[in-house]
Chain A
């Protein structure tokens, strides 16, 4: 069982380009999340999804979009990347129980030049 995987591991992207970060989980968790981590700021929630077909905005959603066509996949898209989106991006998932823990992927390191 892989748990939760992310791709790519790292990417250097020119400003203005479009980029999709992929996230897949095999735990059949209903809820999924995208966080970004910047030095000195901890992890901040970008978007989340309660279940397939629904999404919601987190703390820092601007410049990002997500979709949840099925239970397993939760891609994050940067429509037109900007240097301030240089960060490490983590995807996570959890089941629907009230006090469930979140499982995190290994992260994607994105550099926007």
Chain B
């Protein structure tokens, strides 16, 4: 399983872009990069995923380096409601269709006024 490394915490001013880095230097060619977040006491929430191309949806953008060894999740205009723990996960397929997600300890993003 490819391991991910994230900074334990980051701060961001409200209205500014939040750029959350993730290192996954041992990723293999068929592994996707997923991002989830967990707002206090709630279940994790899917944000975005990608294989090798940059991706954008209504929540965020995902930038994956050309060598795929690292990625950055971008929240373009962070709000207080984006305060959460953000998990970068490299997805491994286990035993058929169920997809095992290995959650690390993530990055705690604090959005401030």
Docked-complex contact A31 and B104, CB < 8 angstroms: no
**Which residues does chain B contribute within 8 Å of A94, judged by CB atoms?**
98-99
Most buried by A among B41, B46, B98, B104: B98
Docked-complex contact B46 and A31, CB < 8 angstroms: no
**What is the total of A-B residue contacts with beta carbons within 8 Å?**
65
**Which residues does chain A contribute within 8 Å of B41, judged by CB atoms?**
107
Query: B100 to chain A: closest CB distance in Å?
Result: 6
Would you give 14 A-B contacts (Cβ < 8 Å), ordered by A? A31-B99, A49-B98, A94-B99, A96-B97, A98-B93, A99-B91, A100-B99, A101-B34, A102-B44, A103-B46, A104-B45, A105-B43, A106-B42, A107-B43
Q: With A48-B94, A99-B91 in contact, is A106–B43 under 8 Å at CB?
A: yes
Closest to B87 in A: A42
Interface residues of B in 71-102 (CB under 8 A from A): 87, 91, 93-102
Docked-complex contact B100 and A48, CB < 8 angstroms: yes
Most buried by B among A41, A59, A101, A107: A101
**Size of chain B's interface in residues, with CB distance under 8 A?**
26
Closest to A99 in B: B32
B49 within 8 A of A: yes
Docked-complex contact B49 and A90, CB < 8 angstroms: no
User: In the bound complex, how far is the Cα of B102 from the Cα of A45, in angstroms?
Assistant: 8
User: In the bound complex, how far is the Cα of B45 from the Cα of A99, in angstroms?
Assistant: 15
Of A11-19, A50-58, A79-87, the segment with at least 4 beta carbons within 8 Å of chain B is: A50-58
